[in-house]
Structure 1
Amino acid sequence: MQMQIMANITHLDDDEQPFLFPLTNSKVLPDPSKFFSKNLFSSALPTNSFFQNFVLNDGNNKEYIHPYLIKPSDSSLSICYPSLSVSSHSMHQVFTPDLTISSSTSSLSRHVISSFSDLSVTLDFPSSNLTFFLVRGSPYVTVSLSRNESLCITSIHSFSSFSSNGSPNKYSLKLGNGQNWLIYTSSLIKFSFSHDLKLTFSNNSSDGAPVMLRIAVIPDSSSKTEVVLDKYSSCYPLSGDVLFNKPYCVEYKWQKKGFGNLLMLAHPLHLQLLSKDEGNVNVLEHFKYRSIDGDLVGVVGDSWLLETDPVPVNWHSNRGLKEESYDEIKSALSKDVEDLDSSAITTTSTYFYGKLIARAARLALIGEEVGFLGVVAKVKKFLSETIDPWLNGTFNGNGFLYDEKWGGIVTKQGSTDPGAEFGFGVYNNHHYHLGYFLYGIAVLAKIDPKWGKKYKPQAYSIMSDFMNLGGGKAEHYHSTLNHYHYTRLRCFDLYKLHSWAGGLTEFADGRNQMGTNSNSEAVNIYYSAALMGLAYGDLHLASIGSTLASLEIHAAKMWWHVKEGDNLYEDDFAKDNKLVGYLAANHRLDLIRCYQSERECKIGFHVLPLLSITEFLFSNVDFVKDLVKWSPSLYTVGDGWMGFVYALEGIYNNKVALEKIRSLKRFDAGNTLSNLLWWIHSRHDYRKMGSCHEKQCCIG
């Protein structure tokens, strides 16, 4: 797996060797050796990847590899160009095995992952010598057929017609459902066609070389689409990597073979971020495939540069507080800090415990900003008392452990119960649990540098669990973002450009993230990592964290914030929804699964935790107004949820929201009156929001 990193990387000192929490022999984790090639076990394995279903249970559940749904089975692989089922509550891509490719001679055997990268996975069927190069965003599925091997193509639909189109290396197949598929071969190949039964290709080449077959559906009736597929059929990608070479940019680079230029597909967020200064790409605006994520548009080029908006990484508010608000905030701080009592915490859950840590850390920073330094010392004591036991292994009832099988942090509770802590022990939801811990660690390292130095190895180990950039090479272990014990970017999807929550759990809809694993909490973990970089003077960590937080924000605005008329989601789904409650690779729901579905709850899950970076997540004031107007439900949801609704209202209606916040009696477990007052009183110049005018706060 290729990797390049920015200059000025901070390295761990000699006395700060990579730290591992106590080892565990988890009783709940699956065995990865069933589907991964042995050569891949020298590196930590992915636990939340776009192909995760291929390595769980029987490995035969489908995954969405744009623009196709791919489903492996014993010695075969099925391809579907999915249709979209839409209602006012749901959007779902429907799987039908349009084409199934299998060996014509081999016995049944399962597939093996022989390699993977940020944008690709390679599936081998050893018994048949078939190799599938599945590269995300390729309009073609590419399969290698070894010498003296044959493959069969069948379909659940009837075969209406088959022809070679006058070309020895191109074939057309029309199915009974109206789909037209093209098959290209890298050299002349023997074939046979049995009407309504199967199509067979045989590699009898004299030179012993494999033959590459490229299979693509024609997504529309335009003859121009087929011309484009013909033109770029001879250049095929084998893998794709994502490089972080400079702040607020990611670069896609594909390893390719064949000749000519490379044709790939970009989703709407790619097109939004695609660098306009790069002259090495050509967008084919009229070459499109449908997708639940919006139209996928053709882009020609061997590499893409995606540029995201800089976001400030600030400890305090982005625009400051008016001094006349200090007294009110200090009064709330006095009570909130007085209520801190580490001995009164009864939860042992990483999620709820972490929220209490982050809530207290917010109080310290607010105290700094309003010059109320007396509360900072009290918060520092609380943070040390609550964080230390998790880092030194003395916490009673739970604790962090290191799992060697997959390479990552689990917990004592999660190592024996797959359902404990929302599945944390099977790598579910790591990004929002650990984000709260990391926020508290960053703040404590800032206000107590001596403590920060003592626990720096543990802090970096927690960060590495979800934000490691390593390619698995042990010689790079000194780099702070190349910890070879951990997988690369555990939760973050470098094609979709946002995080998933699913972990080592098989889902029929693929990777997912619901409202209760909120995108705002995903923003929080990368923002917290950036803050930790500032606390330790590690500008590389701060830069990568800020870049990923910015990408999460863009993705939230693209796919979680529903805006009627933007043509991304179907009108039936968009007209009554403002927020997606459940977002999976193949599914969208308006409601939050397995939780309260009142609109105020949905809003709260998309806002929390309330931080300075939240204003960039909700920079579209017109959308915020619509969201607050949409919020009232028929039920009483409680002050805790309403605090987040009032926070959004404060963006454009400050005085009214302030009075509502003053009337609240209860707050979310991660929120306080001090935090809400700080938020409202820092909205005074919100019209400037959206332009990154505080350049010194941006990592660059």
Structure 2
Amino acid sequence: MANNNITTYGFSFALIICMSAFSLIPETTSSSSSPFQFPPTQSTILPEPSSFFSPNLLSTPLPTNSFFQNFALNNGDKPEYFHPYSINSSSSSLSLSYPSLSSTSAFISQTFAPDLTIYASQTSTNIDAANSSRRVISGFTDLSVTLDFPSSNLRFFLARGSPYVTCNVSSPTAVSVSTIHAILESYSSNSNTKFIVQLNNNQTWVLYTSSPSNLTRSSPSTLTFDGYSGTIRIALVPGSDPKYESILDRFSYAYPVSGEAVFTKSFTLEYKWVKYGQGDLLMLAHPLHLQILSNANATVLDDFMYKSIDGDLVGVVGDSWELRSHNVSVTWHSIEGVKQGSYPEIVSALRHDVEVLSSTPITTASSYFYGKLVARAARLALIAEEVDCLDVVPAIKKYLMDAIEPWLDGTFSGNGFLYDPKWGGLLTKQGSTDRGADFGFGVYNDHHYHLGYFVYGISVLAKIDPAWGIKYKAQAYSLAADFINLGNQSNSNYPKLRCFDMYTLHSWAGGLTEFGDGRNQESTSEAVNAYYSAALMGLAYGDTNLFDSGSMLTALEIQAAQMWWHVREGDTLYEEAFTKENRIVGVSWANKRDSGLWFAPPEAKEMRLGIQLLPISPITEILFSDDGFAKEIVEWALPSLSREGVEEGWKGFVYALQGIYDKDGALEKIRSLTGFDDGNSLTNLLWWIHSRILGSQ
């Protein structure tokens, strides 16, 4: 199969309903009306947002994993990456960097250096003294954030993928532009509305003003607009060819002040920017954008590009983009099914796993590990349906009820869910007082991972017991809305898409934690599982909106994983040294690609493979739909299994991926395993291998 491609199966929602053997629950309650809130809590560890956001924003749920999160944490002075610039700000200035890129066999990183810093040389005297030193976030959308410097009369419109940084100066102010580099030359056009600045690091910057002005050298490293009001736009000229500067000139008049990303129809996402000024809007698209961009409303400038850790950023003209992901078939069971001749082996393992399940209570109180055990049991129920072993389903149903209900009704003594009104989201009881509990869930780390497992289990239980599903629907939707709320005004308890980044088109997991390298995500497969599980919830409750949105987010997360985490031999997206040594990224950051994991070193290749594969479910065959790449990554990881102390659970994931291209060999190895990951089972691995075998028999 082609690289970076998702197999399209072409099932519609209606066809799935007809073909699947599940109980469809009539939608008796709107998912967005009177949304359920778990008991409120006042966390003792969450940061205070009022220091960073303007007062009008504090009454609505705030982002906890956004592209500008560093601007609202601690001192607010760590940079964030906006494509193509990294941007940092203090209380009185904003710095931008066209980051340099470095690469080794272990990591790739972008380094921030304040190439240009913009600030007011004089401050306004007509500002409330109590707020005079504050830089505030005065507005944000899916694709932009607005920063105000009240004492300086400066407002910055920062848009994702804009080749310009735009500053509005509200009243006559001395505005300075300084640099850490030497200024070799600065000069203006005849109209005094365009200014060229050449630095000794081989960078050339161009500054545009909305009205004539004078830019003078006020010090060896500082240029100043004296008494200026209006708009200033700043852009790096990305190459020496005169065409680059000419393109920047042509599109310098129109600038974005906000940008929304809207799901307009199945598997279609539309970017809509609000622009000021005259002419067409020039923005930049990363490689995944270009893969799915429909050119109906946008024109690609193939010869205009900036470098980026995410691949070349290419110019696109148009204030509305239509992005069409691949269609992904979200189903309860394997897409092609299991051949009846394979039933006995799976059923034998299934009966044993259910017997152990029924006699082994859950002892962990961790929301992550507890959720994995819930989802593991739910997999057994669906496999039982697929191999016609329905007599074990009642035992699984009881297990799921006993495990899930205490988290939904607040009777679980070891932990549970609470609602945080300060930022707008769910916390765990343990996490509300301990940053380290539940892997930082209490500071909004990993929400889609943990809740995705619970949503999966709830969806399966609602499928096999519709009455139970109706009883707990409000709580079920609350768990899902925490990470997949689409921003409907009637659901004001949660921010829009807590983890999913509408520009990079994948999720981040870092939460309210400040990182110099920006946001990060380790396990793409668990992110896929979250949105896949939400789509299954849509199936269980007959909710086409939830099904459609979950399906599309699943598709986008998969395509992003295949683009930026899956590293194929001979790929040119990353530098050769990194590509040669790595078949998969461990942790992807906004400004770094790391071969290590949070919990393991780079040489633990089986763990790196496993954390980007688990949990194994029907959606896995779409995430790893490229047989050739499966062979590459398994052959890369297999030698690491000879290390001392490698756990059986991680071996199981390597063998599972081997089953895509070497089914018999993988089956033999799986039969010899003596242990499994806590979210996996022998039943699940046998189901996986035998559903692969069907396709070749």
Matched, 1:627 2:649: no
When residues 643 and 129 of structure 1 are mapped into structure 2, their CA distance, relative to the original with a 3 A threshold, is same
Over residues 549-576 of structure 1, what are the superposed CA-to-partner deviations in whole Å (9 max), with x where a residue is unaligned?
0000000000000123221100011101
Q: How far has the Cα of 1:42 moved from its partner?
A: 2.6
- Report what 1:4 is aligned to: none
Structure 2 SS opposite 1:238: strand
- Report what 2:212 is aligned to: 188
Matched, 1:382 2:399: yes
Matched, 1:608 2:614: yes
Matches of 1:95 and 1:466, distance apart in 2: 30
Asked whether the equivalents of residues 10 and 540 of structure 1 are also in contact (C-alpha less than 8 Å), the reply is no
Matches of 1:201 and 1:594, distance apart in 2: 51
Give the percent of matched residue pairs that are identical in Structure 1 and Structure 2: 59
Asked whether the equivalents of residues 185 and 213 of structure 1 are also in contact (C-alpha less than 8 Å), the reply is yes
Structure 2 SS opposite 1:67: coil
Give the TM-score of the pair, scaled to structure 2.
Answer: 0.93
Matches of 1:20 and 1:661, distance apart in 2: 43
Query: Aligned AA for 1:627?
Result: I
Which stretch has the larger CA shift, 7-16 or 561-570?
7-16
Matches of 1:286 and 1:340, distance apart in 2: 59
Matches of 1:165 and 1:58, distance apart in 2: 39
For residue 164 of structure 1, the aligned residue among 188, 192, 198 is 188
Over residues 268-322 of structure 1, what are the superposed CA-to-partner deviations in whole Å (9 max), with x where a residue is unaligned?
00000101xx432111111010000000000011111111111111111100110
Matched, 1:121 2:145: yes
Over residues 476-520 of structure 1, what are the superposed CA-to-partner deviations in whole Å (9 max), with x where a residue is unaligned?
x2xxxxx21100000000000000000000000000012xxx100
Matches of 1:237 and 1:560, distance apart in 2: 30
Spell out the pairing of 1:157-556 with structure 2 (5 A cutoff). 157-194=181-218, 196-203=220-227, 210-275=229-294, 278-341=295-358, 344-471=361-488, 473=489, 477=490, 483-514=491-522, 518-556=523-561
Q: How far has the Cα of 1:13 moved from its partner?
A: 5.4
Matches of 1:413 and 1:376, distance apart in 2: 32
Q: How far has the Cα of 1:194 moved from its partner?
A: 3.0
Asked whether the equivalents of residues 16 and 457 of structure 1 are also in contact (C-alpha less than 8 Å), the reply is no
Matched, 1:581 2:589: no
Matches of 1:594 and 1:330, distance apart in 2: 35
Asked whether the equivalents of residues 342 and 386 of structure 1 are also in contact (C-alpha less than 8 Å), the reply is no
Matches of 1:195 and 1:309, distance apart in 2: 54
Asked whether the equivalents of residues 337 and 694 of structure 2 are also in contact (C-alpha less than 8 Å), the reply is no
Query: Aligned AA for 1:547?
Result: M
Matches of 2:267 and 2:227, distance apart in 1: 47
Structure 1 SS opposite 2:184: strand
Spell out the pairing of 1:58-69 with structure 2 (5 A cutoff). 58-69=75-86
Matches of 2:605 and 2:160, distance apart in 1: 34
Asked whether the equivalents of residues 348 and 397 of structure 1 are also in contact (C-alpha less than 8 Å), the reply is yes
Asked whether the equivalents of residues 160 and 196 of structure 1 are also in contact (C-alpha less than 8 Å), the reply is no
Q: How far has the Cα of 1:686 moved from its partner?
A: 4.6
Which stretch has the larger CA shift, 149-158 or 183-192?
183-192
Q: How far has the Cα of 1:192 moved from its partner?
A: 2.2
Matches of 2:77 and 2:540, distance apart in 1: 45
Asked whether the equivalents of residues 234 and 260 of structure 1 are also in contact (C-alpha less than 8 Å), the reply is yes
Matches of 1:678 and 1:570, distance apart in 2: 38
Query: Aligned AA for 1:237?
Result: P
Matches of 1:176 and 1:501, distance apart in 2: 38
Matches of 2:249 and 2:461, distance apart in 1: 59
Q: How far has the Cα of 1:106 moved from its partner?
A: 1.9
Matched, 1:20 2:37: yes
Q: How far has the Cα of 1:14 moved from its partner?
A: 11
Asked whether the equivalents of residues 31 and 477 of structure 2 are also in contact (C-alpha less than 8 Å), the reply is no
Q: How far has the Cα of 1:197 moved from its partner?
A: 3.3
Q: How far has the Cα of 1:203 moved from its partner?
A: 4.3
Matches of 1:293 and 1:687, distance apart in 2: 37
Q: How far has the Cα of 1:526 moved from its partner?
A: 0.2
Give the TM-score of the pair, scaled to structure 1.
Answer: 0.93
Matches of 1:590 and 1:211, distance apart in 2: 46
Runs of 4+ residues over 4 Å off in structure 1? 7-11, 13-16, 685-688
Q: Which runs of 5+ in 1 are unaligned?
A: 1-6, 205-209, 478-482, 689-700
- Report what 2:672 is aligned to: 663
Over residues 43-83 of structure 1, what are the superposed CA-to-partner deviations in whole Å (9 max), with x where a residue is unaligned?
10000000000000000000001100101012001010011
Matches of 1:135 and 1:643, distance apart in 2: 44
Which stretch has the larger CA shift, 590-599 or 286-295?
590-599
Matched, 1:681 2:686: no
Q: How far has the Cα of 1:159 moved from its partner?
A: 1.1
Matches of 2:308 and 2:577, distance apart in 1: 16
When residues 377 and 653 of structure 1 are mapped into structure 2, their CA distance, relative to the original with a 3 A threshold, is same
Matches of 2:695 and 2:428, distance apart in 1: 41
Which stretch has the larger CA shift, 402-411 or 35-44?
35-44
Count of residues in Structure 1 that have an aligned counterpart in Structure 2 = 663
Matches of 1:195 and 1:283, distance apart in 2: 40
Matches of 1:651 and 1:437, distance apart in 2: 28
Matches of 1:136 and 1:13, distance apart in 2: 33
Query: Aligned AA for 1:603?
Result: L
Asked whether the equivalents of residues 235 and 259 of structure 1 are also in contact (C-alpha less than 8 Å), the reply is yes
Matched, 1:54 2:71: yes
Which stretch has the larger CA shift, 492-501 or 100-109?
100-109
Q: How far has the Cα of 1:219 moved from its partner?
A: 1.2
- Report what 2:657 is aligned to: 648
Q: How far has the Cα of 1:229 moved from its partner?
A: 0.4
Matches of 2:90 and 2:530, distance apart in 1: 37
Query: Aligned AA for 1:174?
Result: Q
Over residues 395-423 of structure 1, what are the superposed CA-to-partner deviations in whole Å (9 max), with x where a residue is unaligned?
01110000000000001100000111110
Q: Which runs of 5+ in 2 are unaligned?
A: 1-12, 15-25, 125-131
- Report what 2:5 is aligned to: none
Q: How far has the Cα of 1:345 moved from its partner?
A: 1.4
Structure 1 SS opposite 2:348: helix
Matches of 1:537 and 1:299, distance apart in 2: 38
Q: How far has the Cα of 1:683 moved from its partner?
A: 0.7
Structure 2 SS opposite 1:575: helix
Structure 2 SS opposite 1:390: helix
Structure 1 SS opposite 2:276: strand
Structure 2 SS opposite 1:291: coil
- Report what 2:18 is aligned to: none
Matches of 1:28 and 1:319, distance apart in 2: 48
Matches of 2:367 and 2:678, distance apart in 1: 13
